[in-house]
Amino acid sequence: MKLHYYPETDSLYIELKAASGTETREIAPGLNVDLDDRGEVVGFDIDGASRKLDLSILETVSLPVKATKAA
């Protein structure tokens, strides 16, 4: 899973798996879900992320993480 923040559009993309989305659906105003060709979720796009979320803190709880890497 990867988090991508784009300051020029103030959007946060949560990439759940490295696959191309073939369909995007708006599930709430400013919240889109990308689906692959089998209808499985590959990611979420949140518009106006800094107005909706506290982007200064990232906390994980009980994830089975084997390694981390910073970009």
CA–CA distance from 26 to each of 31, 35, 63, 69 (Å)? 6, 11, 28, 31
3-44, pLDDT tens digit by residue?
A: 999 999 999 999 999 888 999 999 999 999 999 999 999 999
Whether this model's pTM surpasses 0.85: no
Measured from the Cβ of residue 67, the count of other Cβ atoms closer than 10 Å reads: 4
Sequence ranges of the domains in the chain: 2-52
15-25, pLDDT tens digit by residue?
A: 999 888 999 99
Q: 47 Cβ partners below 8 Å, 6+ apart?
A: 9, 10, 11, 30, 31, 32
